[in-house]
């Protein structure tokens, strides 16, 4: 089979022992009914939370304990091009086949779900999740079609200030919600100068709950700096966790749109 970078990975049979090094993909595996096949996860795999107690934790998304992973004797290791480093992936490939996801759009997300359905022989469950996401997406499209675009800055970090710009999954979801990315002219997750780069014409400022844990106090401070903007504390998981969580995102986006007007 191929992964999302068109790398071919081979198996003699359906993989039964899975190490997942991406939190959103771990949640997807659970929703596909594969909890019993999970033998290793990261410390950030918090959904559902009981997995942290029941499954071996092998490190984070950027640093893992290779010896622990090897001892688990996985049939497959699930990674992501953005979340995990190239050095990690090269080392992991010495242990077991590595499947890489590469997510920039909703279509990429649906493709990954279908891939997991095929790899782990849970095609029906995968198709059910895909259909749910498509249904929720269409209902949101019907709601949003006559709504105006709102100039929006989406912050992911403080000290230094960093935003979600172009060429990432967050931007794709902002676009779906007609939150026009203020920093579309930049790439990936750049640092910005708050005073120089963000002008007063910004209409919506989103402070994400992850990876930096923005709180209500940050919202109040930003309101003082940008009194004409709507400042929102937003659920970062619903903007950045691809996989089955995407089914919950569109109702959330609808609520944000109504709050932004």
pTM for the model:
0.95
Determine the Cα–Cα distance for residues 17 and 75; give it in Å rounded to an integer. Answer: 5
**223 preceded by a cis bond (ω within 30 of 0):** no
Determine the Cα–Cα distance for residues 212 and 108; give it in Å rounded to an integer. Answer: 25
CATH topology classification for 145-260: Rossmann fold (3.40.50)
Q: Give the tens place of pLDDT for each residue, 126-146.
A: 999 999 999 999 999 999 999
Q: Which helix (H) or strand (E) holds 256?
A: helix 246-260
Residues 6+ apart with CB under 8 A from 248: 238
- For the domain spanning 18-102, the CATH number is 3.40.50.1980
Average pLDDT in the chain: 97
Q: Please say if the pLDDT value at position 260 is more than 90.
A: no
Determine the Cα–Cα distance for residues 149 and 154; give it in Å rounded to an integer. Answer: 15
Q: Where in the chain is the domain with CATH 3.40.50.1980?
A: 18-102, 145-260
Burial of 195 (0-12, 13-18, 19+ CB in 10 A): exposed
Residues 6+ apart with CB under 8 A from 211: 156, 157, 236
Q: Give the tens place of pLDDT for each residue, 206-249.
A: 999 999 999 999 999 999 999 999 999 999 999 999 999 999 99
Q: Give the tens place of pLDDT for each residue, 80-117.
A: 999 999 999 999 999 999 999 999 999 999 999 999 99
Q: Give the tens place of pLDDT for each residue, 149-183.
A: 999 999 999 999 999 999 999 999 999 999 999 99
Q: Please say if the pLDDT value at position 261 is more than 90.
A: no
**160 preceded by a cis bond (ω within 30 of 0):** yes
């Amino acid at each position: 089979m191929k992964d999302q970078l068109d790398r071919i990975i081979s198996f003699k049979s359906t993989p039964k022992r899975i190490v997942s090094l991406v939190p959103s993909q771990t949640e997807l595996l659970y929703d596909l009914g594969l909890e019993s096949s999970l033998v290793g996860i990261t410390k950030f795999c918090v959904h559902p939370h009981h997995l942290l107690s029941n499954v071996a934790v092998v490190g984070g998304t950027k640093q893992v304990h290779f010896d622990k992973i090897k001892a688990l004797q996985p049939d497959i290791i699930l990674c992501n091009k953005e979340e995990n480093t190239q050095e990690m992936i090269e080392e992991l490939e010495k242990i077991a086949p590595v499947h890489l996801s590469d997510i920039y759009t909703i279509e990429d997300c649906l493709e990954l779900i279908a891939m997991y359905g095929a790899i782990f022989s849970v095609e029906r469950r995968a198709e059910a999740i895909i259909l749910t996401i498509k249904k929720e997406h269409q209902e949101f499209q019907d709601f949003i079609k006559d709504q105006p675009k709102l100039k929006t800055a989406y912050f992911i970090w403080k000290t230094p200030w960093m935003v979600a710009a172009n060429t990432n999954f967050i931007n794709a979801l902002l676009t779906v919600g007609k939150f026009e990315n203020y920093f579309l002219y930049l790439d990936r997750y750049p640092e910005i100068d708050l005073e120089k780069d963000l002008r007063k014409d910004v209409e919506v400022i989103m402070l994400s709950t992850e990876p930096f844990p923005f709180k209500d106090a940050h919202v109040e401070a930003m309101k003082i700096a940008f009194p004409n903007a709507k400042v929102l504390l937003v659920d970062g998981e619903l903007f950045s966790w691809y996989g089955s969580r995407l089914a919950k995102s569109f109702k959330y986006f609808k609520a944000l749109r109504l709050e932004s007007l």
